[in-house]
Amino acid sequence: MAMSDRSDRAMSDHATSDRAMSDRAMSDADGRDVAETLFERTREQIRDAMRLEEERRAALVKNLYRLRALRLSRDRKRLRAEEAPQQP
């Protein structure tokens, strides 16, 4: 093998190695972008789930107070009905 063939092959191998490193660096950057996008999506989904849970809790508390008021009203009516016949 001639000296120029060896140097051409070495330069070609070096260029291939540089290209591979460049491709790897690009794929690392792309990987970071993908990971960041997935992280943002996950964070948004968690935020949405927490917001929905807050809304459900607020509705639950509202219904608890409404049911309590209905129960107290019913109990008052029952007490009045029981007291009414006892009066002369």
How many distinct structural domains can be found in the chain? Answer: 1
Range of the domain at 43: 3-86
pLDDT digits (tens, 9 = 90+) for 29-73: 888 888 999 999 999 999 999 999 999 999 999 999 999 999 999
Could you give the angle at the alpha carbon of 25 between the alpha carbons of 23 and 28, nearest 5°? Answer: 110
Given this model, what pLDDT does residue 29 score? 82
Given this model, what pLDDT does residue 83 score? 85
Between 39 and 86, where is the model more confident?
A: 39
Looking at 1-88, list the stretches that DSSP marks H as alpha helix, in order from N- to C-terminal side.
3-83
**pTM (2 d.p.):** 0.52
Given this model, what pLDDT does residue 31 score? 85
d(CA 17, CA 21): 6
Given this model, what pLDDT does residue 86 score? 64
